[in-house]
Amino acid sequence: MIVYPAIDIRHGNCVRLFQGDPERETIYGSDPLEVAKKWHEKGASWLHVVDLDGAFSGSPVNYKIVLAIAHNVSVNVQVGGGIRTESDVDMYLSSGVKRIIIGTRAFEDEKWFVETCRKYPGRIVLGLDARDGLVAVRGWRKTTTMNMLDVARWVEDFPIGAIIYTDISRDGTHRGVNVEAIAKLLEVTSHPVIASGGISSLEDIHRLLPLTRNGLDGVIVGRALYDGKLELGSLLEFVERSKGGGDRGR
């Protein structure tokens, strides 16, 4: 299991939102690059970076900060937030970012999404953000009528790198992870799944570990790290011990 520390960027700051609500923001630092270096020093092999301004506006805004992280920190970076054109994709993937996350345009332009996945096999991640099982788009401000499980079936034959599933109702809340929804998702897809939303304790990680046998590839941890409920070094050691050894963070 890979542990992905989350770095959400808004107005140049490292922040966390409660259930994606920009009116309920907590600022955790004014230098996301320094935060990235800290997580790397504590053992992270991947970082999950989100340009929140980009997600809300529909095009990358904090891309210079994202690229600074990719250029200056020896860690794999996956990034999302407002990536909706071919030039956005090319800009990131040609500049050191390992994978990009596409949500909104994947659901609004199937042809473009399929072509992009084929052009960059394994480097496109589907951002599957759901509220009560229904996909949300445009910075989570619009909930569609698309069922998340139907979407997972739809992309089954696409050459994507992973599916990131976020339970919006739990994101940034410390409410605990939605194990049941993740298990259902794993039943309908063979793609690696990365879980996000509500992870707040080692007990949440313990509940998720059995799902690695079914294709759970990793977990994104945000507010719990910033609020001190989880310590990254200890979390990585716990994951390693639980699987009986192996690469740190995997």
Catalytic residues: 8, 129
Beta pairing partners, 221: 5
Count the helices and strands in the chain (H runs, E runs).
11, 12
Contact 159, 118 (CB under 8 A): yes
Residue (of 161, 169, 225, 221) closest to 196 by Cα position: 221
What is the C-alpha separation between 15 and 52, in angstroms, rounded?
9
- CA nearest 52: which of 5, 106, 6, 97? 6
Which contiguous run of DSSP H or E holds residue 114?
helix 110-119
